[in-house]
Amino acid sequence: MITIRRSTQEDERAVIDLINGIMNHEFHDAKHAYPVEDVECISKAYGGIGEAFFVALDNASHRVVGTVAIKKEDGRTALLRRLFVALSHRNLKIGKRLIDRALEFCREVGYEEIVFKTTSKMSAAIDLCKKNGFLQRAHIVLGPIELIKLSLPLSGDGHTSKGKS
């Protein structure tokens, strides 16, 4: 069973190990485009009002197997960040559950839109966001790097919060 919950200080080493492991294994050539300073002190980087860092915890092994973060961009827009799922736990709908929790948080806070910015190398995360209603808003080629911007409006999008019609 997998539990999605807010990250705690005790999770920081596991989060760093998970993200670094995925980056080294799957995105080694593009690793320089993804600085990790924000996950070295999660409470500082994601501790502001309207911000959160969630982990997916495998209850059997007590391991962090997924992450997602929300960072405030401005009063109406949140950034979806750090969407990662351990290779050993993919295709189990954990990524979808992480996105769902992030969207729920954004609605609770009152954001009107959520934006996901990444490179084209993160194709699995891009596909997952698109399956969850995100639309591509920009595609910018900067030499060997392709930047992708996806967004999802949170008001009137049919993805209603619990208890609302």
pTM of the shown model = 0.89
What does the alpha-carbon distance between residue 160 and residue 34 come to, in Å, rounded to a whole number? 32
What single DSSP character describes residue 74? Answer: S
From CA 80, how far away is CA 73, in angstroms rounded? Answer: 10
Q: Output the CA angle 68-95-38, nearest 5 degrees.
A: 20
**In the chain, where the domains are located:** 2-111
Structure tokens at 84: 């990662």
Per-residue pLDDT of the chain in tens (165 residues, 90 and over written 9): 999 999 999 999 999 999 999 988 887 776 666 677 888 889 999 999 999 999 999 999 999 999 999 999 999 999 999 999 999 999 999 999 999 999 999 999 999 999 999 988 889 999 999 999 999 999 999 888 889 999 999 976 444 443 333
pLDDT digits (tens, 9 = 90+) for 20-60: 999 888 877 766 666 778 888 899 999 999 999 999 999 99
Residue 78 CB partners (closer than 8 Å, separation 6+): 50, 70, 71, 72, 106, 109, 111, 113, 114, 115
Q: For residue 148, what are its two tokens?
A: 């992708």
Q: Which CATH architecture has domain 2-111?
A: 3-Layer(aba) Sandwich (3.40)
Residues comprising the chain, all counted: 165
